[in-house]
Amino acid sequence: MIVEILIFSLGIIGIILLANVLVVRGRRTEQLAFNWFLFLSNLPIFLIGLFFLVVTDGILTQVFGELDLDTTYLPSIGLTLILTAAWGILVTLPQGRYLLARLMPLDPHSPVHTLALVMAGYLVGQSALTLSQGGLGSLADSAVPASITLFVLSEILFAIVGLFGVGFLVRRHGLQLAVRLGLEKPRPIHLLAGIGWIGLLVVLQTIAGAAWAFLNPEQAQLLENINRLLLAEVDNVWKWLILALAAGIGEELLFRGALQPVLGLGFTAVLFALVHVQYGYTPIMLFIVFLAIVLGLVRRYYNTTIAIFVHVGYDFTLGLLALMATYLEQYIT
């Protein structure tokens, strides 16, 4: 799995570097060719999705013979692929980007911004694919304890995509790179404000979780069971600190540092929530949107460094509370 992630990462970094090189070269014909490449890359996804949407068990048997395959969710998988490809096709068309430029601060002529839109759609599509196969119930049945190593690697990939996306090694270096990402030396007053935000977010998350458990106890318990299973190997303070640092640094560099100035605060917040697939399409997703908006405002009015601080502190505090709850349960029982 690690080898596959590394190969995938190299491919992603390569296409991001290419987009940045095209910005520097400024040749319109090359940029048009890049747009066509992105456009055509979505057609196979669309066709595969269409096949999954309309195919029947009889056709599958005729074409491939007897298969030990559950086809129950093929239509929902197909629809997800079609919508993902449709988004990718839309944003590679100039008219689509001009329309979106009215809603977000992107440059419709930039190959980098076009690629960011396509990849944002793929992120959402990947999460939707996970939930298209039976929702939270299916996720609960198939969930296994998450590998800390794989999680950290995925967050490192987020950070690398953010760095190269804003032009690392091609368009920006040193101070220029830090300014574009919103990375500044934290001021004591900003750190104090960050601590306040951490406390407020933890309290609001606790209230939101309690309210949902009261209104829909079965679904809330299901989600709690999923998260307990996914985090089963995160059983001490140091592991929680590693996870909190990885998530805070990786996700904030990508979402708040790199993407928010291009996609805008609102769209980035929704994107951030949608990629947290472990919460499913539940009311808790609304709190994740709220959390992302708060982090976006922290980035806007302070900087990305403080957004990282708040994100790490929030995740680590929740982790400590989860550990305390586990130890108390063991002590009481």
Q: Which ranges constitute the DSSP H helices of the chain?
A: 2-25, 28-54, 57-64, 74-92, 94-101, 111-131, 135-142, 148-165, 174-181, 188-215, 217-230, 237-251, 260-263, 265-274, 284-301, 304-332
- pTM score above 0.85: yes
Integer Cα distance of 124 and 75 in angstroms? 18
How far is the CA of 59 from the CAs of 47, 63, 65, 204, in angstroms?
16, 6, 9, 51
> Can you give the pLDDT at residue 316?
97
Which are the contacts of 257, defined by CB distance < 8 A and separation ≥ 6?
162, 166, 180, 181, 182, 183, 299, 304
pLDDT given at position 63: 66
Q: Which long-range contacts (CB under 8 A, 24 or more apart) does 177-184 make?
A: 180/257, 180/261, 181/253, 181/257, 181/258, 181/304, 182/256, 182/257, 182/299, 182/303, 182/304, 182/305, 182/307, 183/257, 183/303, 183/304, 183/305, 184/303, 184/304, 184/305
- CB 90: neighbour CB atoms within 10 A? 18
**Cβ(114)–Cβ(91) below 8 Å:** yes
132's CB contacts (< 8 A; 6+ apart) are: 73, 76, 77, 79, 80
Find where tokens 């599958």 sit: 60
333 to each of 243, 326, 327, 330, how far by Cα in Å? 28, 11, 10, 5
**What are the pLDDT tens digits along the chain (333 aa)?**
678 878 888 999 999 999 999 999 999 999 999 999 999 999 999 999 999 898 877 777 666 666 556 677 888 999 999 999 999 999 999 999 999 999 999 999 999 999 999 999 999 998 888 877 766 666 666 667 778 999 999 999 999 999 999 999 999 999 999 999 999 999 999 999 999 999 999 999 999 988 888 888 888 888 888 888 888 788 899 999 999 999 999 999 999 999 999 999 999 999 999 888 766 677 788 899 999 999 999 999 999 999 999 999 999 999 999 888 877 777 776
C-alpha span between 245 and 307 (Å, rounded):
12
DSSP secondary structure string, 239-306? HHHHHHHHHHHHHIIIIIIIIHHHH-HHHHHHHHHHT-GGG-SSTHHHHHHHHHHHHHHHHHHT-HHH
Backbone φ and ψ for 209, nearest 5 degrees, come out as: -65, -40
**Contact in structure between 115 and 145 (CB atoms under 8 Å):** no
